[in-house]
Each structure stands twice: as structure tokens, then as C-alpha cells.
Amino acid sequence: MSYLPYGVAAWLFLVGLYGMVTSRNLIHLVVCLSVVQSSTYVFLLALGFETGATAPVFYDVPPGTPAVDPVVQALVLTDVVVGVTVTALLLALAIQEHKRFGTLDPHELRAMRG
């Protein structure tokens, strides 16, 4: 029971990968990629958690109260915003690809015509 967050992170990773493998639409594939990214956020934040501790903001609590790990939160914070931007780049690539080939189905993109 105390390994539930790690299990949920692994479950999200595998479910997102399954969605990417069996996808018939490039936009659906990009959204499944963002699910895979969110599994890493859950895993990292679960690593830094301490039972009974508060958030690492000391505006109204005296410094010295036990708080959760701020380094892990710093990693995830920038990652969230940058991840959405990379998703935008992938969506722009999907739009370009639709213009060239006329289809959004990854199963129909067989050979790379050079």
C-alpha cells in the first residue's frame, strides 16, 4: 500500500505507451505522449514526499518546520511548462505532415519517400 504512488506512475507510463503504439491518429498520439510525461511528474513528486511535512514555503511558518523536498519540485515545475511547448511543436509537425500526405493515420505512412 505504501508503494501505490510508484505503481500509479508505472501504470500511467505503460498505459500511455499502449495508447501511442495502437493509435490511428497522430493528434491522439501526441496527447498520449503527454500522459507518459505526466507519469514522470507523479513519480518525482512521490519521491520527495515526507509524511506529516508541509510545503516548502516559509512565509507563515517558522523556518525549521519539516518540509518536503524543494529540489524535486523545482525539476517538475519547469518541466511542466516546457513539456506543453514541446507538445505544441509536435502538433505543428502533425499539421505539416497532414499538408504533405493528406492523412493523419500513422499506419498509412509506410515508406519515407525521399
Applying the rule CB under 8 A, the residues between 20 and 79 that interact with another protein are: 21-22, 24-25, 27-28, 31-32, 34-35, 38-39, 41-42, 45-51, 53-59, 63-64, 67-79
Regarding 109 and contact with another protein (CB under 8 A), the answer is: no
User: How close are the terminal C-alpha atoms of the chain, in Å?
Assistant: 53
Nearer to another protein, 3 or 113 (CB): 3
Query: Do you know the residue count of the chain?
Result: 114
Q: Is the dihedral of CA 8, 11, 15, 21 positive or negative?
A: positive
94, amino acid identity: A
Please, what is the minimum distance in Å from the beta carbon of residue 114 to another protein?
19
Question: ∠ CA 40-83-39 to the nearest 5 degrees?
Answer: 20
Nearest-approach distance from CB 109 to another protein, in angstroms: 13
